[in-house]
Structure 1
Amino acid sequence: MTLVAPTPSSGSPGSLRWALADSWTLTVRGVSHWVRNPGPVIFSLAFNVLIVLMFVYLLGGAMRVPGGGDYRDFLMPGMFAMTMLFGIAATTQAVTADVERGITDRFRSMPMSAAAMLAGRAVADMLLSVLTLAVMVVTALAVGWRPYGSTGEFLAALGLILLLRLALVWIGVYLGLALSGAEAITGVQTLEFPVGFLSSAFVATATMPGWLGAIADWNPISSTVTATRRLFGNPGAVGDSWIVEHALPMAVVWPVALLLIFFPLSVAKWRSLRR
C-alpha cells in the first residue's frame, strides 16, 4: 500500500500558495528540459524563420494584397499567429511523453496540488511562446516589416497573439492527455498546416471561392490575424463580412471560448487517468 502525504484542502489558507509553489516547480522543470536539450527549441525557431524567408523572398513577389500595400506587412501578422499554432504539437508531445513514461502517474501519487502539473506545463509553454514571438518580431523587422500603429496598439497586438497561444496551449494539453503514440503526434503536426492555411494568415480570404473564404473568415486564427493587422497598421484587414468587421472583439472572444472548453476538458481528463 502506498502512503501519500496529505495536501492542503482547497479551502485552506495555504492552498493557493501550495498550488503556486508546485506550479512554479513544474514550470522550472519544463524550462530546464529545454536548457539541457536546446535542439528542439532551436530547430523550431529556425523553422519559423525559414518559413518567413520563403514567403518573403520566394513567394512574396507573386502575391498581391487587396487594396494595395506591401506583402511583407500583410504577411507578418499572419506569421506571428501561425507560430503560435505550430506550438500545439510540441505541447501535445510533451504531455503525451510524461503520460507514457509514467511521470504523470508519479506526480499524481505525490502530495502536490492537483492543478500544478497542467499549470506548470502551460506556463512553461507560454514562456517559450514569448521567446518565439520575440524572435519572430526581430526577424520581421529584419526583412522589412514595419508596424505603423502606436506603442499601445503594438503591445495590444502582441497581447492578442499570446492570448491565442494560451488557448492553443490548453488544446495541446488536452490532446496530449487524450492521445498516445507517435502516429497521434504526427497527426496533430499534420493538421496544423491545413488549419493555419485555411485562414487569412497568408492570403486574403477575398481571393478564395466564396464558400471557402467564409470558412476561413470564421477560423479563430483569422480573427487574431485581422485584428493585429489593424493594430499594427498593416494592409489586408478589410472585409465586408460580420466576422471581419468585428475582428477585434472576436480576437478576444475566440481564445476565451476555447479556454472555457479545453481547460475543464484537460482537468477532467487528467483526473480520470489510470483510474
Structure 2
Amino acid sequence: MSALAYDGTAMLGRQLLRVRNNPALVILTQTMPITMLLFFGYVFGSALAMPGAEYRSFLVPGLLVAIAANGIMTGMFQAAQDVHRGVTDRLRTLPISRAAVPLGQAAADVLVTAAGTVPFLLVGLAVGWRVDGSAAGAAGAVGLLLLFRFACTWAGIFLGLLSRSEEAAGQLGSATFMLPLLSNAYIPTDNLPGWLRTLAEWNPLSAVTTALRDLFGNAPVPEGAAWPVAHPVAGSLAWCAVLIAVFAPLAVRRHGHPGA
C-alpha cells in the first residue's frame, strides 16, 4: 500500500505537469461548459415552461454532471495517447505498482476538475443560480460530483487502454456527448414517453443530477421516478461503486498486461 501511495503520487505529479504543459486543452475544456450554460440557459430557457432564471438554476447541476461524465472522454484520450506514443510501454518497464499510473491519472483528473468547477459556479451565480440548501448539503453535492468524475475517469482509462489509438479514442469519446441528452441533465423527464423516461432515469447521470439539485436545494426529488432518481444520493453512490468496481480492476489489469 505504501508503494502504491508513493508511486501513485509520482504519477499524479506527472499528470499535473502534463496538464500544465497543455494549457490550450485545459482552457477549452473549462470554457465549453460555460458556453453551454449561457447558450442553453438563455435559448432553451425561453422555450421551456420554466422561466429563464428558474431553468438556469435547474440547468447548472445538470451541466456539472455532464462535466463529470466527460471524465470518460478525457481519461480515454489520455490513456490512448500514452499507449499510441509508447509511453505506456516505457512505464511498464519501471519497478512501480501497476495500479499507480491509472490511479495517478484519475486523481489528477479529479483535481483539475475541482479547480475548473470554480469559474463555472461563479458564472452560474452570475446568471441566477443559487445554493438554496444547507452548507453541508452543498459540500456533499461537490463531493458526490468529484466522486462521479473519479468513477467516470476509470471507465475512460480502461477504454483508452483498450482502443490503443488516439483517433479511435477521439471518435469513441465524442459519443459520450449523448449521455447527458439521454438523462434529466437538460430537461425534466416527466413528459418523456414511458420507455424513454425509464431509460433516462436509469442513466447514472440522472441520479447524480437529481442528487445535486436536491443537495443544492434547486429542485425537489421527482415523484414516481425509477429507484436511482427517487433515491438520488443512494443511487448515485451505487452507480459510482459499480463503475469503480468494474473498470478500476480492468484498467489496472490492462495496464499491467497489454494483452489481457
TM-score by length of 1: 0.89
Mapped pair 1:140 → 2:124: yes
Query: Which AA in structure 2 matches 1:29?
Result: R
Q: How many residues align?
A: 259
Mapped pair 1:228 → 2:195: no
Unaligned runs of 5+ in 1: 1-15
Q: Distance in 1 between matches of 2:147 and 2:139?
A: 12
- CA shift for structure 1 position 173: 0.7
- CA shift for structure 1 position 186: 2.9
Mapped pair 1:262 → 2:240: no
- CA shift for structure 1 position 17: 2.6
TM-score by length of 2: 0.94
In the TM superposition, what whole-angstrom CA distance separates every residue of 1:167-198 from its partner, at most 9, and x where no partner exists? 10100110111013344223323221211110
Q: 2:225 aligns with which of 241, 253, 262?
A: 241
Mapped pair 1:105 → 2:97: no
Mapped pair 1:52 → 2:31: no
C-alpha RMSD of matched pairs (Å): 1.8
Q: Would you say the 8 A contact 1:70–1:235 is kept in 2? A: no
Q: After superposition, where does 1:114-193 map in structure 2 within 5 Å? A: 114-193=98-177
134-143 vs 95-104, which moves further: 134-143
Unaligned runs of 5+ in 2: none
1:7 match: none
Q: Distance in 1 between matches of 2:243 and 2:71?
A: 16
Q: 2:180 aligns with which of 196, 199, 207?
A: 196
Structure 1 residue ranges, 4+ long, deviating more than 3 angstroms after superposition: none
3-state SS of the aligned residue for 2:187?
A: coil
Q: Would you say the 8 A contact 2:183–2:206 is kept in 1? A: yes
Q: Distance in 1 between matches of 2:259 and 2:203?
A: 35
Q: Distance in 2 between matches of 1:125 and 1:235?
A: 29
1:10 match: none
Q: 2:189 aligns with which of 186, 200, 205?
A: 205
Percent identity over the alignment is: 34
Q: Distance in 1 between matches of 2:168 and 2:217?
A: 39
- CA shift for structure 1 position 65: 4.1
Q: Distance in 2 between matches of 1:131 and 1:188?
A: 26
In the TM superposition, what whole-angstrom CA distance separates every residue of 1:12-58 from its partner, at most 9, and x where no partner exists? xxxx3322221111111111122122010001111111111101122
Q: Distance in 1 between matches of 2:204 and 2:23?
A: 31
Mapped pair 1:272 → 2:229: no
Q: 1:78 aligns with which of 44, 49, 62?
A: 62
Q: Distance in 2 between matches of 1:69 and 1:52?
A: 12
Answer with 1 or 2: which has the greater Rg: 1
Q: Distance in 2 between matches of 1:98 and 1:271?
A: 14
3-state SS of the aligned residue for 1:165?
A: helix
Q: Would you say the 8 A contact 1:157–1:231 is kept in 2? A: yes
253-262 vs 241-250, which moves further: 241-250
- CA shift for structure 1 position 78: 0.4
